Structures are given as structure tokens and as C-alpha cells.
Amino acid sequence: MRFDTNESMKNSSSIYAVLTLVIPILFSACYSFKGIAIDPSVHTYAVRNFESLALNAPPNLSVDFTERLKDKIRTETRLTLNNDTPDIEFTGKVVDYRVIPVAPKPGEIISLNRLEIVMSVGLTNNLSEKDSWTSDRRFSFFAEFPNDVDLLTIQDSKINEINNQLLEDIFNAAFNNW
């Protein structure tokens, strides 16, 4: 069997040319896989301070969530923060914060508890009313923890876990048309 080096080099050159075209396309596809769909006329946003209506929620929950939503939009979109005349505005409330017993063991002993947080979020598009949420949308998520663990010892990590998912859900609803 005869091996033709010229043919081999042509194939290598072809493969190299294809890879130099395909790799950037793949990376750009990965970079934009979130599918953010923001109207080109929208340039600014504001996140109004969330209020807490949940009686037993930690006092800093709504403030922390407001700041995290601002940061998420700032870092994951091209929008800039403008509290005076924003193109889009987010408003919200913490409407529920509760611990629910789940997964009873035989003999009615509870083995797990569930911390659940519910947010009510409004979106006003000041440029296009049809892109606003006509009524506040509810977003909720939970995290479970063993019954023998005191909530206060894990509360911050569980709230962070829940808030990460709530932020993702709100972001997707606002910018990914989910």
C-alpha cells in the first residue's frame, strides 16, 4: 500500500480549514445558548426594591434578592441600570416564606422539612406595553433539609440555593420568553 503525502497534506489542510470555521461557530453557539431575546430598542432597566409580605422571612431577604436580580441582569445582558427613566422595570414582593414538613416516616415522624419561598414579580416595559406582564407572576422554589437539622444553621445556604433558581426562572421569563 502506497501512502501519498501530498494527498495526506491536502486532507489535513481541508480539515484545518473546516475546523477554523466550525470551532468559532460552536463557541459562539455555546456562548449564546441562553437564547436571550431582548428587543434592540431596550437599553436600560431598573429593579425596584422588593418588599417582604412574608411575616417570618428574614429581614434582609427582599433587599438581598433585589440586589442579586440587578447583578444578574447587569452581568448577563447588555442592559444598563437606570433608576430614573428605565426602558424596563422589575417590581416584586416576597409573598411567602415557610417551612413545610414532608416525607413522614412510619409512625408519623417527619424526616424532612421543606423551606419554600414564593415571589410575586412584575415587569413593565415602558417602550412596549404588550411586552409587559399584565399582572404579577408568581415564582416559587424550595429546598429540603433533614428534620434533625435546625433551620437557623442552614438557612443562609438554603435561601441562596432557592434564590439562585428563582433568579434563573425570573430571568428566563423576562428575557428568554419562557
Q: Are residues 75 and 14 in the same domain?
A: no
Q: Are residues 14 and 67 in the same domain?
A: no
Q: Are residues 15 and 67 in the same domain?
A: no
Question: Which pLDDT score is estimated for 3?
Answer: 53
Q: Are residues 141 and 170 in the same domain?
A: yes
Is the overall model pTM greater than 0.85, yes or no?
no
Question: Which pLDDT score is estimated for 22?
Answer: 42
Q: Are residues 163 and 128 in the same domain?
A: yes
Q: Beta strand pairing status for 44-47 and 88-105?
A: parallel
Q: How many domains is the chain partitioned into structurally? A: 2
Q: Are residues 93 and 113 in the same domain?
A: yes
Question: Which pLDDT score is estimated for 13?
Answer: 56
Whether the Cβ atoms of residue 44 and residue 86 lie closer than 8 Å to each other: yes
Express each pLDDT in 131-166 by its tens digit.
898 788 999 999 999 988 889 999 999 999 999 999
Q: Are residues 3 and 52 in the same domain?
A: no
Tally: H helices and E strands in the chain: 3, 6
Q: Are residues 29 and 42 in the same domain?
A: no
Q: Give the domain extent around 12.
A: 1-33
Spacing of C-alpha 122 from chain mean position: 15
Q: Are residues 73 and 88 in the same domain?
A: yes
